[in-house]
Amino acid sequence: MSTQTKLNVFITGGTGYIGGSVLSRLLIHPSFTSGSFQISALVRTVEKGEKLKGLGVRPVVGSYDDLDVLEREAGDADVVFSLADADALPGAKAILEGLKKRYERTGRVSKLIHTLTFVMDDAGGLHGDHLIYSDLRDTDAINALPDNKFHRHVDVPIIKADEEGYLRSYIVAPGNIFGTPSGPLVDLGIQNLHSILFPIFFKVGIARKQGGYIGLGKNVSPAADVEDTADLYLILFNALLANDSNVAHGREGIYFVENAEYTGYELAKATSEALVELGIGATRDATAFTDDELELYFGKNWPFFSSNVRPRADRARALGWRPVKGKEALLASSFQGLAVPEMVYEYL
């Protein structure tokens, strides 16, 4: 991938829910343990940085608001794992600018592995009838989505940069992630242990002592386990190390992540059942949120939580991704998610 003797890898979001699991895999990668590549990681605090340094990672203290830092670090990287804020356009542009300057300075084409994109509708929970998009067969339809669709304001300039030739882009698009991560960053207490979407519904369920759904609860969403998701990043990384000319990038380089589908009602029902088991709820039934509850718990963003998203990870599986945990594990994880002590105490 580079004429350098040592590959430079820069990762953002490396202590996040997904990013921490990706970084944990990089730390045990044979090429890292043998000294063939080095890792720099963006972290928000000196304390986290010191702990990463103990794992052999070069910490870069800063945030996605530190655009000069992002540009500088990307400008020295052969591979960038972008696992922080998918909607932070200024940060994404800073990374692109760094990679562009690196190309102009060295002629080297860096690799950008970015997270994420969506193909969603505005069903309002009233139906599950939505187009199913394959990341292998439907790339033209995915790239034809309007630029104002969710996340597209960041995805579009990244794909354009690939077309301009100064980088190769690979967009990994997870569904809703569940499960509990493990690894050295968890052991050090510096990795986020929870996803974003599921805890929102769990907290709301605790507050109302019953699971709830939007509309009729018929909206369909994809899901995958956090460890299965992190595996895909490493499979993609290994494929690039082996022969990057064989790995789809740019407009073709979209890799969905899904190994289960669930409806809004199914999640609400599992939440109610878990609340009963925990002694918080009185009924295993789930009910629709009232208009007042939608405003109270979700505000103007409630349509986002009731849309259909139906991707198929065909390209990811063709690359060799073999996820293990599916719908049964997803619904069972509601008990574990609801049993987090700080969540229960805060919302009871």
In the predicted structure, residue 2 carries a pLDDT above the cut 70:
no
> 146 falls in which pLDDT band (50, 70, 90)?
confident
Of residues 346 and 160, which shows the higher confidence score? Answer: 160
| Cβ contact 331:270 at 8 Å | yes
- Mean pLDDT of all residues in 316-340: 89
pTM of the model: 0.94
In the predicted structure, residue 186 carries a pLDDT above the cut 90:
yes
Q: Which amino acid is present at 65?
A: D
Which pLDDT belongs to residue 340?
65
Q: What is the 3-state secondary structure (H, E, C) of the chain?
A: CCCCCCEEEEEECCCCHHHHHHHHHHHCCHHHHCCCEEEEEEECCHHHHHHHHCCCCEEEECCCCCHHHHHHHHCCCCEEEECCCCCCHHHHHHHHHHHHHHHHHHCCCEEEEEECCCCECCCCCCCCCCCCEECCCCHHHHHCCCCCCCCHHHHHHHHHHHHHCCEEEEEEEECEEECCCCCHHHHCCCCCCCCCHHHHHHHHHHHHCCCEECCCCCCEEEEEEHHHHHHHHHHHHHHHHHHHHHCCCHHHCEEEECCEEEEHHHHHHHHHHHHHHCCCCCCCCCEECCHHHHHHHCHHHHHHHHCCECEECHHHHHCCCCCCCCHHHHHHHHHHHHCCHHHHHHHC
**Which pairs with CB-CB distance under 8 Å and at least 24 residues apart come from 104-108?**
104/166, 105/75, 108/2, 108/3, 108/78
Q: What is the pLDDT of residues 10-65, one digit of tens each?
A: 999 999 999 999 999 999 999 999 999 999 999 999 999 999 999 999 999 999 99
In the predicted structure, residue 346 carries a pLDDT above the cut 80:
no
Helix axes 264-277, 327-338, angle to 10 degrees: 40
Of 76-80, 198-202, 225-229, minimum mean pLDDT range: 198-202
| Cβ contact 37:31 at 8 Å | yes
The C-alpha atoms of residue 15 and residue 27 are separated, in whole angstroms, by 13
167-174/254-257 β-pairing: parallel
In the predicted structure, residue 342 carries a pLDDT above the cut 90:
no
- Mean pLDDT of all residues in 233-257: 97
The C-alpha atoms of residue 99 and residue 219 are separated, in whole angstroms, by 39
Structural domain boundaries in the chain? 7-123+131-179+225-257
Which pLDDT belongs to residue 347?
47
In the predicted structure, residue 241 carries a pLDDT above the cut 80:
yes
| Cβ contact 76:69 at 8 Å | no
Chain-centroid distance, C-alpha 211: 25
For the CA atoms of 99, 105, 106, 109, what is the dihedral angle to 10 degrees?
30
CATH architecture label of 7-123+131-179+225-257: 3-Layer(aba) Sandwich (3.40)
Percent of the chain past pLDDT 90, that is, above it, reads 83
Which pLDDT belongs to residue 121?
87
> 343 falls in which pLDDT band (50, 70, 90)?
low
In the predicted structure, residue 5 carries a pLDDT above the cut 80:
no
Which residues, in sequence order, are CB contacts of 47 under 8 Å at separation 6+?
A: none
Percent of the chain past pLDDT 70, that is, above it, reads 95
- Taking alpha carbons only, the member of 196, 198, 174 closest to residue 335 is 198
- Taking alpha carbons only, the member of 254, 298, 55 closest to residue 158 is 254
Which pLDDT belongs to residue 1?
45
Which pLDDT belongs to residue 345?
47
Which pLDDT belongs to residue 196?
85
Of residues 146 and 288, which shows the higher confidence score? Answer: 288
On average, the pLDDT of the chain sits at 93
In the predicted structure, residue 117 carries a pLDDT above the cut 90:
no
- Taking alpha carbons only, the member of 321, 328, 301, 306 closest to residue 221 is 306
